[in-house]
Amino acid sequence: MQTFLHGRDLIGDLDFSKEEVETVLDVAWDLKRKRALNEPHAYLRDKVLAMLFFFSSTRTRGSFEAGISQLGGHAGFIESKSTQIAHGDTPKEIGEIFGRYYDGIAIRHCDWEVGNAYINAVAEASRVPVLNMQCDIYHPFQCLADLMTIMEKKGRDLRKKKIVVSWAYAASYLKPISVPQSLILQMPRFGLDVTLSYPEEFRLMPEIEQQARDEAKKSGTSFEIVHDMDEGMKDADIIYAKSWGPLLTTADGAEGKRIQDSYKSWLMDERRLALAKEDAIYMHPLPADRNIEVTDAVLDGAHSVVFDEAENRLHAQKAVMALTMS
């Protein structure tokens, strides 16, 4: 167990080693048990977390606010439009000043080719930990909750288990690519064989795909890319089917929507679920476009673990805050 994480940032999924992620999970399960038993665990009494949002949220805001409160601390919710950021406050100012006001800074900024650079610039200027609540490249806290959920459902030894990370159609906005990118980076380190499935136009960042190959090679697991949704589903133990935008194909929203709308057949339904193993689980970070991206029968069915997954955001985030902000 690696125990000294005080003061550390968590911006990218590989910022914490495998052993450090295992420490986070151990703490997360302990905090989950304490909450179940109503045991006090105010490890961050009087600590304050700045939560800076450039991108709207349901689960992220709710779980971070609840989490820091349950740890005995407080959250300061800051909507970027309510600040002077548009009028001159640079990432350096935010890092320097919020780093003096608060004990941690959490940021959600998903603008393509902007978000991750902004968070890193804040971290460079901050004297307190900076936590990435989601950017254009990574969604590390969602991925920690996903890994925690998979282990709860499939056991801690995940070798020879297959996860398919599949694109699915959504009628709503062109969603960030950060969730699938985090998944393909983190999951090979814990023994999972990863299949990434998407239409040609929905590729991920080449450097992230290469890092996923490198992690799989180091871990003795497999990483493959297919361009057929049915093929990806075959014999899967874990199905993670969700939408993301064709951001590496086009930066034009209208063209991206046209491309997206040409793949309406990439729907996660019961027929595709049946291609996976009999005890496969279905995962999604939510919100999902019901009966467009995934059918009600799958999302609300016996194989779905989406609400356990959403709950684990709370516990995983509390673990990181407790370890880095104490």
Structural domain that includes position 43: 13-139+312-325
Give the amino acid at 256: G
Based on the domain organization, do 60 and 208 belong to the same domain? no
**Average pLDDT score over the chain:** 97
Tell me the pTM.
Answer: 0.97
Note whether 119 and 177 are same-domain residues.
Answer: no
Total number of domains in the chain: 2
Stretches where the chain sits below pLDDT 70 are none
> Per the domain annotation, does 2 fall within a domain?
no
Same-domain check for residues 135 and 147? no
Do residues 195 and 291 both lie within one domain?
yes
Residue 117 lies in a domain: yes
Say which CATH number the domain at 282 has. Answer: 3.40.50.1370
| Alpha carbon distance 51, 243 (integer Å) | 26
Q: Is residue 6 part of a domain?
A: no
Same domain (yes/no): 135, 170: no
DSSP of 218-272? HHT--EEEES-HHHHHTT-SEEEEE----TTT---HHHHHHHHHTTTT--B-HHH
| Type of residue found at 262 | S
Residue-level pLDDT at 56: 86
Do 191 and 298 fall into the same domain?
yes
Residue 1 confidence (pLDDT) = 83
User: Are 290 and 150 contained in the same domain?
Assistant: yes
For residue 320, is it within any domain? yes
Measured between its terminal Cα atoms, the distance across the chain in Å is 17
- 69, part of any domain: yes
Residue 75 in any domain: the answer is yes
29 located within any domain: yes
Residue-wise pLDDT tens digits, 139-189 = 999 999 999 999 999 999 999 999 999 999 999 889 999 999 999 999 999
Quick one: pLDDT at residue 283? Answer: 98
